Amino acid sequence: MAVTKYEPAPPGARPKTNVPGAGAPSVFNPILPPTADTPSVDVAADFELPTYDWSGAILGGGGGSGAPASYYDALGSARGLEAQTASDKLDLEIAKYNQQQALDNAALQRKGLGAQEALKYYEAQLAGVEGGQIPEALNTTLEEQKAARDAFANTTYGNLLSRLGTRYGEAQGLTDEGFGALKTYLEGAPQNAYATAPRATATPVSNDIAQYMQSQGVDAARVQPGLLAAQAAAQGGAANYNNLLTTLAATSTQANQSRLNEQAMAQRLAQATLTAQKAAQEGALDQAKIAQLNAIQEQYTASRLQLQKDSIARENALRDAIAELGISGNLAIDTTESTETPEERAARIAAATAAEKAAADKAAAETAASRSGAVNILAKQIAAAKGSNAPALQSRANAFIAANPTATPAQVKAEFPQLRAAAVKATAKKK
Amino acid sequence: MAFDPSIYEQQRRNLQTSLGQQQALNTYRRYLAETAGQRPITQIQEAAFGIQKQVPRLTANYGQRGLQGMGVRSGVYKKALGDYASERTKQLGYAQSDLANQLRGYDLAATQGQESYQESLKDIESNKARQIAADAAALLELR
C-alpha cells in the first residue's frame, strides 16, 4: 500500500523554534491574520477593495511605517501559534507516516513471505510432476488397477481353460466308454450263426429189396447204378450246402473284423473331433484373453497418456506461477525478521521523525529565505485560496513565484493587486 | 443331441420279435416241406410191396410167362428185377435228396435270420456308440 508522503514545506512555511529554520511559515497551513475560525480568502469577491496600503505594512520591509500596531501584534501572535500548530501537525503526520510505513513494511514482508511460501509449494508440487511424471498416488492406483484387471483376465482364462479341460476329459471319457463297450460287445457277442449251423450229411441210400432179390436169385449188384446215382445226388447236395455255410461263416467272420475296425476308426475319429474342438475352443479362449489384455493395455496406456498430459499441463502451470512470482518481485522482498525491540523501534522511528522534520523544516526555511517577504506572503495567501478559481490562481502564482522568487511588494501587487484587499478584509474580520 | 438309450432297447426288442416271427414261420414252413417231401418217399417205399405190389406183380408176370418159377430163374427176369431195383433205389435216393435239400433251405434261412439278428444287434450297438460320441462332442461344444 502506497502512502503519499507529505510534500516538502511550501515557501513561507515556518519551522519550529527549536530547530534550524524556526520561524518559517508552516508547511500545511498558510499564515493568515489571526482569526478564530481561519476564514477563507475569496480573492475574486474582494477584488474591488483598494483601500489599505498593504505593501507598506507587510511587504515594505521597512519596520512598520504606516501600519496599525494592533495588526502587527496580532499577526506576530498568530504566527507563533500557527507555527506551533503546524509543527504539531507535522509531528503527527510524520508519526502517522512512520507508523504507516511500519505497517506497510509488515504487509510487504508478509507479501514476501507469502511469495516464498508459494514458491516452496509450487516447487514441491513441481517435483511431483516434473518431466511429465505421474503423481505417485495416481500411478500406484493405475498400476494396481491394471494388475487387478490383468489378474482377473488371466484368472478367468485359467478357469475357463480348466473348465474346458474338464469338459474335454468328460467328453473323451464318454466317447471312450461308448466305443469301449462296443468293442467289448463286438468281441464277445456271437457272430457264429453260419459257423455253428449244423453241417449237412448225405442221406444214406440203400437197396431195401436186396434180400428179396437174393431170394429170387438176382444179384443185388444189379441195383448199383441207381444206388450210385442216388448217392451222388445226396452227397452233392450236402456238400454244396456245407460249402455254402463255410463261405458264409468266413464272410461273417470278416464282417465282424470289419466291425471291429470300424469301431476303432470311429473311436479315433471321435477323439480327433474332440481334440479339434478342444483346440478350437482353446484358440477362442486365447483370442479372447489376448483381446481382453490388449483392451486393458490400451486403456492403461490411454490413462497414462492422459495423466502425463495432465502432469505436463500442471507442470507448465506451476512453472508459469513460479515465473509470475519472480516477475512480481515479491520474492526479492527482504523478509528477514527484525530483531529490534519495540523500544528500539520507537526510538528509531522518533529519530527518523526528528531527522525528517528537521530536514523538512530546513528545506522550508531555505525556500523561504531564498524568497522575498512579499513572495512568501503571496505563497501563503495563494496556498490558502479556495473557490472554483483557486487552482488557476495557484498555478499562476506558483509560476510567478518560480520565475520571480525575490519579487518586491510592488511587483507582487502589480501581478496580484487583489491580495492587499484580501489581507485587509481578513484583518477586519479578525477584529 | 439328447442321448436316449431307450430307443436302442426298443430297436433290440423289435429285432427279437422279428427274429421270433421269422424263425417261427420258417420252422412251420420247414415242417410243411418235410411233410410234403416225405410223401413221395413213402410212396416209393410202399409201392414195392404195398398196395401196388409192384415187385410181386413183376415176379408174377414173369412166372406166368414161364420165365420165373420153381427152379426157373431166367436171365430176362433177373435183368428186369435188377433194373427195377436200381431204378427204385435211384428214385428213392432222389426223393430223399430233394427233401434234404429243401429242408436245408429252411435251415439256411433260419441261420441267415440268426446271422441277421446278430448283425442288427451289432448295428444297434455301433449306432449307440456313435451317438454317444456325437453327444459328447456336442456337449463339449456347448461349454
Q: Following DSSP, what letter does each residue of A168-228 receive, concatenated?
A: HHHHHHHHHHHHHHHHHHHHHS---TTTSSPPP-PPP---TTHHHHHHTT--GGGGHHHHH
Query: What are the pLDDT digits (tens) for A116-141?
Result: 999 999 999 888 888 888 888 889 99
Nearest to A198 among B73, B107, B118 (CB): B107
Percentage of residues in chain B having pLDDT higher than 90? 80
pLDDT at A376: 86
Best of A209, A213, A246, A251 to substitute, by most chain B Cβ atoms within 10 angstroms, is A209
For residue A72, what pLDDT band results from cuts at 50, 70 and 90? low
Does residue A227 register a pLDDT over 90? yes
Least confident of A72-81, A123-132, B50-59: A72-81
| Chain B residues 53-112 within an 8 A CB cutoff of chain A | 55, 59, 68, 73, 77-79, 81-83, 85-94, 96-97, 100-101, 104, 107-108, 111-112
DSSP state letter for B68: E
B104: which chain A residues are within 8 Å (Cβ-Cβ)?
200, 237-238, 241
Question: What average pLDDT does the segment A376-394 reach?
Answer: 82
For residue A23, what pLDDT band results from cuts at 50, 70 and 90? very low
Cα distances from A187 to residues A54, A180, A183, A263, B11, in angstroms, run 160, 11, 6, 11, 21
Distance from CA of A294 to the nearest CA of B (A): 24
Nearest to B111 among A194, A219, A274 (CB): A194
Gap between the Cα atoms of B46 and B53, Å rounded: 8
pLDDT at A275: 93
Gap between the Cα atoms of B69 and B60, Å rounded: 9
Size of interface A-B (CB pairs under 8 A): 194
Give the distance, in angstroms, between the CA of residue B69 and the centroid of all CA atoms in the same chain: 45
Q: Cell numbers 435216393 correspond to what residue?
A: B93
Q: What length is written for chain B?
A: 143
Gap between the Cα atoms of A94 and A349, Å rounded: 9
A225: which chain B residues are within 8 Å (Cβ-Cβ)?
86, 90
Gap between the Cα atoms of B1 and A398, Å rounded: 120
What single letter denotes the amino acid at residue A417? Answer: P
Give the distance, in angstroms, between the CA of residue A266 and the centroid of all CA atoms in the same chain: 70
CB A412 within 8 A of CB A379: no
Long-range contacts of A391-400 (CB under 8 A, 24+ apart): A393/A43
Percentage of residues in chain A having pLDDT higher than 90? 41
pLDDT at B94: 94
Cell of A391: 487552482
Q: Which residue of B lies nearest to A228 if distances are taken between CA atoms? A: B90
Distance from CA of A272 to the nearest CA of B (A): 10
Least confident of A22-36, A91-105, A272-286, A332-346: A22-36
For residue A381, what pLDDT band results from cuts at 50, 70 and 90? confident
Closest-CA residue to A31 (of A358, A356, A357, A382): A382
pLDDT at A386: 77
Distance from CA of B64 to the nearest CA of A (A): 15
For residue A425, what pLDDT band results from cuts at 50, 70 and 90? low
User: Higher confidence at residue A37 or residue A365?
Assistant: A365
Does residue A64 register a pLDDT over 50? no
Q: Do A252 and B73 touch (CB under 8 A)?
A: no
Q: Is B5 an interface residue toward A (CB < 8 Å)?
A: no
pLDDT at A421: 61
Least confident of A2-16, A33-47, A326-340: A33-47
CB A430 within 8 A of CB A34: yes
User: Higher confidence at residue A398 or residue A28?
Assistant: A398
| Chain B residues 15-44 within an 8 A CB cutoff of chain A | none
For residue A423, what pLDDT band results from cuts at 50, 70 and 90? low
Cell of B36: 410234403
Nearest to B136 among A175, A244, A262 (CB): A175
Distance from CA of A230 to the nearest CA of B (A): 4
Q: Which residue of B lies nearest to A240 if distances are taken between CA atoms? A: B101
Query: What are the pLDDT digits (tens) for B113-125?
Result: 999 999 999 999 9
Query: What are the pLDDT digits (tens) for A136-188?
Result: 888 999 999 999 999 999 999 999 999 999 999 999 999 999 999 999 999 99
Cα distances from A177 to residues A183, A268, B12, in angstroms, run 10, 13, 20
Q: Is B4 an interface residue toward A (CB < 8 Å)?
A: no
Does residue A9 register a pLDDT over 70? no
For residue A2, what pLDDT band results from cuts at 50, 70 and 90? very low
Output the average pLDDT for chain A: 80
What residues contact A390, with CB distance under 8 A and at least 6 apart? none
Distance from CA of B104 to the nearest CA of A (A): 7
Q: Which residue of B lies nearest to A209 if distances are taken between CA atoms? A: B85
For residue A71, what pLDDT band results from cuts at 50, 70 and 90? low
Q: Do B55 and A209 touch (CB under 8 A)?
A: yes
B83: which chain A residues are within 8 Å (Cβ-Cβ)?
222
Best of B76, B99, B122 to substitute, by most chain A Cβ atoms within 10 angstroms, is B122
Q: Do A229 and B90 touch (CB under 8 A)?
A: yes
Q: Which residue of A lies nearest to B101 if distances are taken between CA atoms? A: A237
DSSP state letter for A26: P
Main-chain phi, psi angles of B72, to 5 degrees: -110, 125
Nearest to B125 among A182, A256, A277 (CB): A182
pLDDT at A11: 52
What residues contact A362, with CB distance under 8 A and at least 6 apart? A15, A19, A20, A21
Nearest to B100 among A181, A200, A206 (CB): A200
Does residue B15 register a pLDDT over 90? yes
Q: Do B118 and A178 touch (CB under 8 A)?
A: no
Question: What average pLDDT does the segment B27-50 reach?
Answer: 94
What residues contact B109, with CB distance under 8 A and at least 6 apart? B22, B26
Gap between the Cα atoms of A17 and A33, Å rounded: 20
CB A414 within 8 A of CB A378: no
CB A40 within 8 A of CB A386: yes
For residue A24, what pLDDT band results from cuts at 50, 70 and 90? very low
Does residue A387 register a pLDDT over 90? no
pLDDT at B118: 92
Distance from CA of A286 to the nearest CA of B (A): 15
Query: What are the pLDDT digits (tens) for A204-217?
Result: 888 888 898 988 88
User: Higher confidence at residue B71 or residue B24?
Assistant: B24
Least confident of A15-19, A277-281, A368-372: A15-19
Gap between the Cα atoms of A330 and B11, Å rounded: 104
CB A364 within 8 A of CB A10: yes
Nearest to A216 among B81, B118, B143 (CB): B81
Cell of B47: 409201392
Distance from CA of B50 to the nearest CA of A (A): 13
Question: Quick one: which H or E segment has residue A329?
Answer: none
pLDDT at A22: 44
Query: What are the pLDDT digits (tens) for A232-254?
Result: 999 999 999 999 999 999 999 99
Neighbours of A360 (CB within 10 A): 22
